[in-house]
């Protein structure tokens, strides 16, 4: 019985330490700033509609959209939009 309690205690400590490490990794990771002046989904100029852009972070990259409504479109095909961003960044570097 003592051994079983010890095993459970060790497992609990490992789980807590593991979760703490994951939390630190995600919060300390640098976020790449959004390099475009246009919305990633609709390609309109950000702020053109009069409001502040909707911002979020996806895989360490800041993303800016015209509105929160476009987030649903982004979430349906994130790879498509991340490729669009990569292509636009490559054009900027030329």
Q: Are residues 10 and 52 in the same domain?
A: no
pLDDT, one tens digit per residue, over 39-93 is 999 999 998 878 899 999 999 999 999 999 999 999 999 999 999 999 999 998 8
Q: Are residues 10 and 36 in the same domain?
A: no
Which residue range(s) make up the domain with 23?
1-29
Q: Are residues 17 and 46 in the same domain?
A: no
> Is the separation of the CB atoms in 66 and 40 below 8 Å?
no
- Domain count within the chain: 2
Task: Return the pLDDT at 80.
Answer: 97
Say which residues have a Cβ less than 8 Å from residue 40's Cβ, sequence separation at least 6: 63, 64, 65, 74, 81, 84, 85
pLDDT, one tens digit per residue, over 2-29 is 777 766 667 766 765 555 444 444 557 8
Q: Are residues 41 and 5 in the same domain?
A: no
Q: Are residues 63 and 39 in the same domain?
A: yes
Phi and psi of 82, rounded to 5°?
-70, -35
Cα Rg of the chain, angstroms: 21
Q: Are residues 37 and 81 in the same domain?
A: yes
26 vs 94: which has the higher pLDDT = 94
- Supply the pTM of this predicted model: 0.68
């Amino acid at each position: 019985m003592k051994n079983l309690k010890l095993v459970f205690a060790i497992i609990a400590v490992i789980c807590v330490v593991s979760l703490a490490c994951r939390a630190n990794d995600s919060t300390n990771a640098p976020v790449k700033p959004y390099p475009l002046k246009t919305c990633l989904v609709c390609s309109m100029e950000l702020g053109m509609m009069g409001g502040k852009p909707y911002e979020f972070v996806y895989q360490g990259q800041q993303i800016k959209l015209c509105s929160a409504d476009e987030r649903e479109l982004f979430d349906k095909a994130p790879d498509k939009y991340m490729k669009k961003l990569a292509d636009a960044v490559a054009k900027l570097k030329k």
